[in-house]
Structure 1
Amino acid sequence: MSKLEPLVNRVAFVASDRPEAQEARERLIVRYGGAAPGEARVIVALGGDGFMLETLHARIDEPKPIYGMNRGSVGFLMNEYSEDHLLERIEAAERAVIHPLRMTAVDADGRAHEALAINEVSLLRQTRQTAKLRILIDGKTRMDELQCDGAMLATPAGSTAYNLSAHGPIIPLDAKVLALTPISAFRPRRWRGALLPHAATVQFQILEAEKRPVSAVADNFEVRDVIDVSVTEDRGVSLTMLFDAGRSLEERMLAEQFSV
């Protein structure tokens, strides 16, 4: 990464509610000083992957590089926790620039809701009955009816999260594709999803919406009883995560594909 401006007293420390994260924040502020997030050059997020996503969302209107250290249960998006040589680690860190998805969901009352998703946009059945979805790509119907528990569109950064659990592919950050992945597809039973150009607009039309209600979730923002959901990558928003040298997000995603 290009050399950052001097970091002394220019780092903001934010932490999840976990006691170990809060305690780590207090110790790091004593050792390195603590700037307000709005005045900092870099934000250090202490917690797990969920807290990293919260921190990224909180900085969307004023993006700053975010360096995570794991003080949570899952740390795929985090660096190892160490209090030593922190400023040097940040200076030498590698950048991962990601672009979120923009979801526009129309509910049964005709109201439109917008939200950004860093990991994925998911459509999920709300009752015991399967959902029925029609899928359009750039305005053209590609699947007239998918019966399923749901479906999702995942970013490369999010491809190792819910998408991977649903047997979707891991996508390199620079691949410029999105993963469209079904969740427990019933018919067509053997459909495993698709890789789409990152510039594609994906539209989900909910069939039999009153009988088979569906919710739409952009990361942690949920809209209930949707009838139409459109999703596209927002290239106008760029978010930067910092990873220790030799432990880039690309390297972690590659290693994940060979883990047993």
Structure 2
Amino acid sequence: MDRRIAFVAGRSDVAQQALGVLSRRYGNVTVEKADTIVALGGDGHMLRTLHDTQALNAPVYGMNCGTIGFLMNEYAEDGLQERLAAAETETINPLSMVATRADGSVENHLAINEVSLLRQGPQAAKLSIRLDGRMRMAELVCDGALVATPAGSTAYNYSAHGPILPIGADVLALTAMAAFRPRRWRGALLPKTVTVRFDVLEADKRPVMSDADGHSVRDVVTVEVRSAPDISHAILFDPGHGLQERLIQEQFT
């Protein structure tokens, strides 16, 4: 039996054109009524779709109408129902970010790829790092630092020379950007169960912002990051083109 599909398209002309073509061919129901949600766009749109539909049971199948498309499948108009029937499911957990500002206000956001801290001004950030309450680095002088999931390890993390993590690995990557002290410190591999706490040192002089998949919080003084095992996202991939295969290919390209 054919699946009920909800198409969710990005703003680009290419994605909007694909939305019209595929909707006429396969129908288009609301996300609440869908058996499968098909995201049309790039990786950024895929992340937004996953966040927006995380309370629903329908898995998300991405079709690349963007640039990189690491989380997406190849775009094609033919045989979509057959591709959905044969697709393989990858289940991932996001990170939870709790960011406290200098004025005491707190924001909570989820990140599928990474939580990052970045300097806001011309001076390097000064951070301290605690793992499960234990001080591990009293002072890290850097442009920023991030905690990445396996699914997000090929994104900002990899560009900052962090490691690529296998999908399903119970580890997170803690990576520094342009570390000045300790000189060229590249980071650490951490158990998935850990709580990472960053404290911003000299926050008035060296302001820092935090970001979780595009949700930015300025003037933070503390940021806590942990995995959220109670929240899961189901992503569909064509056979032989799942995240595990893509992560391996990335390391040999």
SS of the counterpart of 1:144? strand
Corresponding residue for 2:20? Answer: 26
Corresponding residue for 2:141? Answer: 147
Structure 1 contact 43–65 (Cα < 8 Å) conserved: yes
Corresponding residue for 1:11? Answer: 5
Corresponding residue for 1:201? Answer: 195
Corresponding residue for 1:36? Answer: 30
**One-letter code aligned to 2:119:** R
Corresponding residue for 1:73? Answer: 67
Aligned length: 253
Pairing of 1:180-191 with structure 2 (within 5 A): 180-191=174-185
SS of the counterpart of 1:28? helix
SS of the counterpart of 1:175? coil
Residue 185 (structure 2) pairs with residue 224 (structure 1):
no
Residue 55 (structure 2) pairs with residue 61 (structure 1):
yes
Taking a change above 3 Å as real, the CA distance of residues 159 and 140 of structure 1, as seen in their structure-2 partners, is same
- TM-superposed CA distance for 1:61, in Å, is 2.3
| Structure 1 segments unaligned to the other structure (5+ residues) | 1-5
User: Which string of whole-angstrom CA distances, capped at 9 and with x for unpartnered residues, describes residues 134-168 of structure 1?
Assistant: 00001001101000000000010000100011000
- TM-superposed CA distance for 1:62, in Å, is 2.2
**One-letter code aligned to 2:2:** L
User: Which string of whole-angstrom CA distances, capped at 9 and with x for unpartnered residues, describes residues 27-62 of structure 1?
Assistant: 111111111111001000010011000101111222
Q: Distance in 2 between matches of 1:77 and 1:196?
A: 24
| Structure 2 segments unaligned to the other structure (5+ residues) | none
User: Which string of whole-angstrom CA distances, capped at 9 and with x for unpartnered residues, describes residues 202-234 of structure 1?
Assistant: 000000011100001011111110101000000
Corresponding residue for 2:92? Answer: 98
Corresponding residue for 2:101? Answer: 107
- TM-superposed CA distance for 1:68, in Å, is 0.4
Say which of 135, 157, 164 aligns to 2:158.
164
**One-letter code aligned to 1:20:** V
Q: Distance in 1 between matches of 2:11 and 2:192?
A: 35
User: Which string of whole-angstrom CA distances, capped at 9 and with x for unpartnered residues, describes residues 171-212 of structure 1?
Assistant: 011111000000110010131100000010000000001110
Q: Distance in 1 between matches of 2:170 and 2:16?
A: 37
Structure 2 contact 178–184 (Cα < 8 Å) conserved: no
Q: Distance in 1 between matches of 2:26 and 2:210?
A: 42
Q: % of aligned pairs identical? A: 58
SS of the counterpart of 1:217? strand
State the TM-score, normalized to the length of structure 2. Answer: 0.98
Corresponding residue for 2:240? Answer: 246
Structure 1 contact 166–183 (Cα < 8 Å) conserved: yes
**One-letter code aligned to 1:18:** S
Corresponding residue for 1:89? Answer: 83
Corresponding residue for 1:3? Answer: none
State the TM-score, normalized to the length of structure 1. Answer: 0.96
Q: Distance in 2 between matches of 1:122 and 1:116?
A: 12
Corresponding residue for 1:118? Answer: 112
- TM-superposed CA distance for 1:63, in Å, is 4.3
**RMSD across aligned C-alpha pairs, in angstroms?**
0.8
Q: Distance in 2 between matches of 1:27 and 1:233?
A: 38
